[in-house]
Structures are given as C-alpha cells and as structure tokens.
Structure 1
Amino acid sequence: MAVEVRPAEVFEDVKAVLGPKRADANVCWCLSYRLPSKDNVALRGTERGDMVRRLCRQDPPPGVLAYDGGEVVGWAAVHPRADTSFATSRKIPQVDDADVWSVWCIRVRPGHRGQGISHQLLAGAVEFARGYGAPAIEGYPVDNQGEKVDLTMAYVGTRRLFEQAGFSKAADTDSVLNGFPRILMRLDLR
C-alpha cells in the first residue's frame, strides 16, 4: 500500500505514535519545542496527553501523520516558528523576519523504519506548511557527515534527509545533539 500523509487531527493516532505505555508517564509528546519551556515543564503525567488532544483540535493541528493503509506509522511536528520555542531560541538563529514554519520532529514507529517513511513525512510537512501559506519551512537536523545517529536522537533528522527533500543549509547553529552539530536547513515555498 502507498503511504499517505495527513494532518494530525485524530488524537488517538497521534497517541499511537507519541504516547507512553502508561498514560501518567512524563514523556515528551513532542511538546518540548512546541510550548514555552515553563509551560512544558509544568505539564505532568496525563496533562501532557490532554494538551496534545487540545492541539489536535486546533487549526492548524500540531503536525502530520503517515498512514500505511489504515495504520498510523509516523509523525512529523510542523508549525509556524513564531508559535514554538525556536522563535526565542538562543542556539537556533533566525535567518530573517519571514513567517517561516518549523519541522522539528520526525518519528517512524518500530516495524516501519527503513522504508522511506521519514522522507514521506518530511514531504507531507512541506505540503502542509505550503497549504497554510508558509513562505518557507525550516528544519534543524544534525550534520552527522554520514555517521550513525543514536535512534533516540534521530527525531531531528539528518542533513541528508533534508537535502533530499530540497532544503538547503541556511545557517549554522549553536545547538549540538548526540555529539553532532545541528544546522538550520530551509526550503522556500514561494
């Protein structure tokens, strides 16, 4: 079956990709960059899932989901940069004052990795941002020079993934993840 990428409007599907096994566990839920740090840290246990449920009902929803047939197999967080912690980041620079969108997390469920779903999620995130009139979209992947990235840190993507999607390096950052420098990659949408 062909993978289809759709807006993340169905909370149960987002939960299937991002949610913990125990509802009261304090896991990311992809809120670390979406909310101001103080708000993110204040959310405990089930409050985190409740916040994501509310975000799924907003326009735009918090990202996109990949489906293989009827099964949800992946997630990409994408939203206007102005509504994320990247807007005030000291480590990730702003290239200009354009109302760009950010894609900061790409996750593929176990059992579905190695099938190109990350590429489809990134392409879907680009189309999602374009559909909302974004002039450009940015990502902040690691520049790993082809070296293996620890699976727990691979959520930001790699320079190669973004280059294959048509993004170009726009700036260096002061952010490092898993020992690799992160770079700002950008794709103009107009």
Structure 2
Amino acid sequence: MTDDVVTRSVDASTWESLSTVFGTKGDPAGCWCQWFKLSRADWNGTDRTQKAELLHAQVEAGSPGVVAWLGDEPVGWAAVEPFSAYPSLARSPISKRQPDDPADPWAITCFVVRLEHRRKGVARALLQGALRHAHEHGATVIEGYPVDTEARPTLSAAERYHGTVSLFRTGGFEVVRKPSASRAVMRRAL
C-alpha cells in the first residue's frame, strides 16, 4: 500500500494537514516535535498550545519535515532536519557525537502515523519522503536513532516514534553503533 501514500515537504500551505496529523489527543498532540528542540526546562515550561505554535513558526521559517497523505487524508509526519537543529540530540547518550561521526548530518527524529492509518506502509513512505527531502536540501549523510524491536518486542506504539531498526534497514541505513540494547544509531549516505 506504500505506493498509495504521497509525501511532500511541509510548508505553510500544508499546515492544516500537519495539524490534523498531530491531532488533539495522545503523545503527538503533547509534543509537536519539540522534544529534541527544547531544553528540559523549556519543555516542562511549555504547554501543548505553545509547542504547536513553535512548530508552526518552524514550518513558516523553513521545512522541518514531510507530511503524508492517503488520498485526500493527511495520515503522517516525519521530522527531518540537520542534527544542529535539534539541540537535545547533542546531549542525548544515544545520539551524542562520537569522534568518527559526521559533525552535522541530517537527522530523522520522529514519525507520527495517525492511529487508524497504521500498518498501511505510511512510515515506510515517510522514510522515503524524508530521504528525498534531505537530499533536495543538500544533505549528504542522514541518520536515524531507531528502537530495536527484536531486542524489545513489547515496545508500545508511543515508544516507536523514533522508527524501528527494521524500518531504517528497508531504507538502506546501516547500524553504526548500538548505544543501548534497544537503540541504534543508523546512517546512510545520500
């Protein structure tokens, strides 16, 4: 079904579709892809409306990811920007730069697929859209920080927002290190 899913770089004209994807309930509605952008203190001091406003401003200023449609229905989102756009990545023990790492690769940090559209190939289409988006914006290397469902098969959908190792493998990514039993750093040259 992946062929039926269409992705496009998000911009001001797609904001309403993106808002539909994030919705008003659940983890996406409380995050609006700001977890990796804000310090812990700022995260704790920012409510969901303010987080939505931050993402809206980021969309207006550039294109921080891709949105997916199935027909006319907005069904998903993937956040993808340079590593340096996500200050919390540099502090995370999972994604903190190591001596041999590229300094500022592009990073896919988040997937949101609306509940009723899961298991239809949306995440796979979003990954392909994120690769295309990064390449079109000059990326030469792209990373992801997915969960390993083989190591932890009981992960909830909420815990899979980073994507999965198997998903990234289908996109041509290779594991460059395993900073924990259930997380990987995966990379691909573009």
Matches within 5 A, 1:36-55: 36-55=39-58
Question: Structure 2: how far apart are the matches of 1:13 and 1:39?
Answer: 26
Question: Structure 1: how far apart are the matches of 2:20 and 2:114?
Answer: 9
Question: Structure 2: how far apart are the matches of 1:94 and 1:184?
Answer: 11
Q: CA deviation at 1:87?
A: 2.5
Structure 2 residue matching 1:27: 3-state secondary structure: helix
User: Greater helix percent: which structure?
Assistant: 2
Deviates more, 1:132-141 or 1:42-51: 42-51
Calculate percent identity across the aligned residue pairs.
35
Q: Is 2:21 aligned against 1:17? A: yes
Q: Deviations over 1:40-64 (max 9, x none)?
A: 33222421211111111112x2211
Structure 2 residue matching 1:133: 3-state secondary structure: coil
Query: Unpaired runs of 5+ in structure 1?
Result: 175-179
Q: CA deviation at 1:91?
A: 3.4
Distance 1:21 1:88, change over 3 A: closer
TM-score by length of 1: 0.86
TM-score by length of 2: 0.86
Structure 1 residue matching 2:110: 3-state secondary structure: strand
Please name the residue that 1:170 is paired with: 176
Q: Is 2:116 aligned against 1:111? A: yes
Amino acid aligned to 1:38: A
Q: Is 2:164 aligned against 1:158? A: yes
Question: Structure 2: how far apart are the matches of 1:68 and 1:160?
Answer: 23
Question: What is the RMSD computed on CA atoms of the aligned residues?
Answer: 2.2
Question: Structure 2: how far apart are the matches of 1:88 and 1:153?
Answer: 19
Please name the residue that 2:139 is paired with: 134
Question: Structure 2: how far apart are the matches of 1:98 and 1:45?
Answer: 31
Please name the residue that 1:65 is paired with: 67
- Which residue, out of 88, 100, 104, partners 1:99? 104
- Which residue, out of 4, 9, 25, partners 2:6? 4
Conservation of the 8 A alpha-carbon contact between 2:76 and 2:113: yes
Report the count of equivalent residues.
181
Please name the residue that 1:177 is paired with: none
Question: Structure 1: how far apart are the matches of 2:150 and 2:8?
Answer: 31
Structure 1 residue matching 2:108: 3-state secondary structure: strand
